Amino acid sequence: MLQTPSGGAGSGTAARDSGLMSIGTVLNVLRDEFPEVTISKIRFLESEGLIEPQRTPSGYRKFSAADVERLGHVLRMQRDHYLPLKVIREHLDAMERGEAVSLPVVGRQRTADDVPAAQPEGRTVARIGRAELLAAADIGEEELAEWEAYGLLAPLADGAYDAEAVTVASLVAELGRFGIEPRHLRVMKAAAEREAGLVDQVVAPLRRHRNPQTRAHAEARAKELADLTVKLHAALVQAALGVRLP
């Protein structure tokens, strides 16, 4: 944790408080390196015991610089090494105890060879094999097959998966702990596809443009619109439930 200057109790508390960040601020800090990270993702990692932010008396999360650094490590190991959360937690805990530990290896690590040499419109796609997906999400073949049957996950043409499948699988598994079954999630899948279709309608003309810079702008615009639709969806769900999340 962060060290605070010596002094009276009041000054020490103020120093600690001044170094803490809201979840929104943490999101902005992380998005420079992890543009796809969301508040829901941060909350999920907290629920899995990867981070333990402080709480204000009213229940709002407050993150220290050490919390943000740990989050970065978690997201990096998920993105680059496809490690399951349990392995990541054990690895980071060992590091914090001062133990000399090497990075665990689970399946194939992401390398430059994972991305095709020439991607259209400057897009890069990180891929993960079926065995790596099972290990990273800590699920079995039967679960994955069921989720595929309901359309929640689907392999690419070559049998591999987009790396985002790890996040989807982890969230489906987490919802399952609350009794929400894959068949219940088809409505979410359908809603996501409709929202994606709406975004695609907006950026499709830019993607077809001859100018490479315009096509690159289409990808930036798609990410911006995707972020806005996710935020709107979350706000609508909260409003419908009558809840307010910190």
Q: What is the pLDDT of residue 40?
A: 80
Percentage, residues of the chain above pLDDT 90: 10
pLDDT, mean over the chain: 78
Q: Which pTM was predicted?
A: 0.50
Q: What is the pLDDT of residue 18?
A: 56
The domain segmentation of the chain, as residue ranges, is 19-106, 109-180, 181-246
C-alpha separations of 178 from 39, 61, 173, 182 in Å = 20, 23, 9, 12
Q: What is the second-level CATH architecture of the domain 19-106?
A: Orthogonal Bundle (1.10)
pLDDT in tens, 118-158: 344 444 456 788 888 888 888 889 999 999 888 899 888 88
pLDDT in tens, 175-222: 888 889 988 998 888 888 888 888 888 888 887 877 878 777 888 888
Q: What is the pLDDT of residue 198?
A: 86
Q: What's the mean pLDDT in 38-45?
A: 84
CA 227 to chain centre: 13
Q: What's the mean pLDDT in 64-78?
A: 89
Q: What is the pLDDT of residue 68?
A: 93
C-beta separation of 78 from 88 below 8 A: yes
Provide the 8-state DSSP code for 147.
H
